[in-house]
């Protein structure tokens, strides 16, 4: 890493600080000069860990001088994903929750001192959105080099699927030349502009980060087993899945994993609640008397309402992943990792934050290993 990388960064839509952790890993000498988020619960967690409270002012009300005064070379952004999801009705740029990002895009054109580097994370489908079109068109006109990715932490050996869209942009020195070279970029279709592999130059960085975080690195591109992320001494009763939640489902359509599994589903903000479908994996804590045939029976079962199926599911002793375990799978530095790197600011939740709130906040966050790797690539190799 270039030792001169001591940039000033602004973190928009900061949440619990996933992108702050990413910058901390990728460029230890760089600093967040200001973060912005309206969620006071997320802000309390951010303040608890980084000792800085984000500005809770609405981003779409910010004025140019309020941004320019920081003279930040880096913008980090993880805007609301709901406008680009089925739950948000795919309203895209018409959704009020997109206004802050549109405002930043508009402001970018008017700033006298523009950021050199821009990083944005969002959900799958953002790459097809009108908002993405507006963003890329603006960046292209302003002379930025652009790279867009669809990536998941499973590609780095972490057994948690979290496929997300990432945009990296770097300001070129010569606007006019850059513009001439890249006008054709806007004409590319998604298959041509989307990169689906991590940059080769960042592999050593991501492996070293895994070693610092967890004390191990992937072997021959193999996925880790979940056992490396699970606390086997956890109180089952505290995190068990109520059978009432299971019985509400007419079909067997949820994801059950155990410590030997090498995968887990994306954890969303609904995880840990009665909405068990599509919100994340459930952990099977009793495996001694259960074999693969039992699981196969469930998969082909038309419903989970009969007594035999209910008994079988009960025998699994299903529980939710704890917030600590979810945080580890999302590659946040947590205290129990016992990493020796004292520069890490560990993720901790204030004692008055409930388990449900912790799951919600994590579900709205990012995978720190992925964003760290891409921010490293952006600042060093783009």
Domain ranges in the chain are 6-211+366-379, 219-362
Reduced to 3 states (helix: H, G, I; strand: E, B; else coil), residue 148 is: strand
Strand partners, 210: none
List residues with catalytic annotation: 81
Give per-residue pLDDT as tens, 105-140.
999 999 999 999 999 999 999 999 999 999 999 999
Cα distance between residue 372 and residue 27, in whole Å: 9
Find the helix or strand (DSSP H, E) in which 45 lies.
helix 40-50
Q: How confident is the model at residue 145, as a pLDDT?
A: 95
How far is the CA of 354 from the CAs of 47, 53, 272, 323, 360, in angstroms?
17, 20, 11, 10, 10
Number of residues that make up the chain: 382
Q: Quote the pTM value.
A: 0.93
Residue 178's pLDDT band (boundaries 50, 70, 90)?
Answer: low
Sheet strands side by side (includes 256-257): 256-257, 282-284, 318-320
Per DSSP bridges, beta strands 74-77 and 144-151 are: unpaired
Cα distance between residue 247 and residue 2, in whole Å: 56
Q: Write the class of the CATH domain 219-362.
A: alpha beta
User: Which residues are within 8 A (CB) of 62 and not within 5 positions of it... i.e. 6 or more apart?
Assistant: 36, 103, 107
Domain 6-211+366-379, architecture per CATH: 3-Layer(aba) Sandwich (3.40)
Cα distance between residue 143 and residue 182, in whole Å: 8
Give per-residue pLDDT as tens, 18-29.
999 999 999 999
Residue 1's pLDDT band (boundaries 50, 70, 90)?
Answer: very low
Find the helix or strand (DSSP H, E) in which 375 lies.
helix 368-380
Residue 191's pLDDT band (boundaries 50, 70, 90)?
Answer: confident
Residue 197 has pLDDT above 80, yes or no: yes
- Average pLDDT of the chain is 90
Selected residue with higher pLDDT from 102 and 188 = 102
Give per-residue pLDDT as tens, 35-73.
999 999 999 999 999 999 999 999 999 999 999 999 999
Give per-residue pLDDT as tens, 237-266.
999 999 999 888 777 778 999 999 999 999
Q: How confident is the model at residue 131, as a pLDDT?
A: 96
Task: Tell me how many degrees the CA angle 334-53-354 measures, rounded to the nearest 5.
Answer: 50
Task: Tell me how many degrees the CA angle 168-219-254 measures, rounded to the nearest 5.
Answer: 75
Cα distance between residue 54 and residue 121, in whole Å: 19
- CB 79 within 8 Å of CB 98: yes
């Amino acid at each position: 890493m270039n030792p001169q990388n001591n940039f000033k960064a602004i973190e928009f839509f900061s949440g619990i600080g996933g992108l702050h952790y990413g910058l901390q890993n990728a460029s230890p000498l760089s600093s967040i000069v200001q973060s912005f988020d309206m969620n006071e619960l997320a802000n309390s967690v951010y303040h608890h860990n980084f000792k800085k409270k984000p500005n809770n002012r609405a981003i779409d009300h910010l004025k140019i001088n309020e941004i320019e005064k920081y003279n930040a070379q880096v913008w980090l952004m993880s805007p609301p994903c709901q406008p680009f999801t089925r739950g948000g009705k795919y309203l895209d740029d018409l959704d009020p929750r997109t206004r802050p990002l549109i405002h930043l895009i508009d402001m970018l054109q008017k700033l006298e001192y523009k950021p050199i580097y821009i990083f944005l994370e969002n959900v799958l489908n953002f790459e097809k959105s009108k908002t993405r079109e507006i963003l890329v068109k603006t960046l292209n006109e302003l002379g930025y080099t652009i790279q867009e990715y669809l990536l998941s932490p499973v590609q780095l050996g972490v057994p948690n699927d979290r496929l997300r869209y990432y945009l990296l942009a770097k300001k070129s020195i010569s606007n006019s030349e850059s513009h001439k070279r890249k006008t054709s970029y806007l004409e590319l279709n998604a298959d041509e502009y989307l990169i689906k592999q991590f940059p080769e130059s960042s592999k050593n960085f991501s492996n070293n980060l895994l070693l610092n975080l967890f004390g191990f690195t992937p072997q021959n591109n193999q996925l880790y087993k979940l056992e490396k992320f699970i606390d086997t001494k956890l109180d089952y009763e505290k995190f068990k899945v109520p059978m009432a939640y299971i019985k509400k489902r007419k079909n067997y359509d949820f994801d059950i994993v155990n410590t030997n599994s090498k995968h887990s589903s994306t954890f969303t903000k609904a995880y840990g609640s009665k909405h068990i479908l599509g919100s994340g994996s459930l952990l099977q804590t009793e495996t001694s008397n259960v074999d693969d045939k039992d699981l196969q029976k469930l998969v082909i079962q038309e419903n989970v309402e009969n007594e035999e199926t209910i008994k079988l599911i009960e025998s699994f002793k299903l529980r939710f992943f704890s917030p600590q375990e979810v945080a580890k799978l999302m590659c946040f530095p947590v205290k129990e990792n016992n990493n020796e790197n004292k520069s890490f600011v560990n993720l901790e939740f204030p004692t008055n934050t409930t388990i449900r709130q912790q799951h919600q906040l994590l579900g709205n966050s990012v995978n720190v290993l992925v964003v760290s790797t891409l921010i490293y690539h952006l600042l060093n190799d783009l």
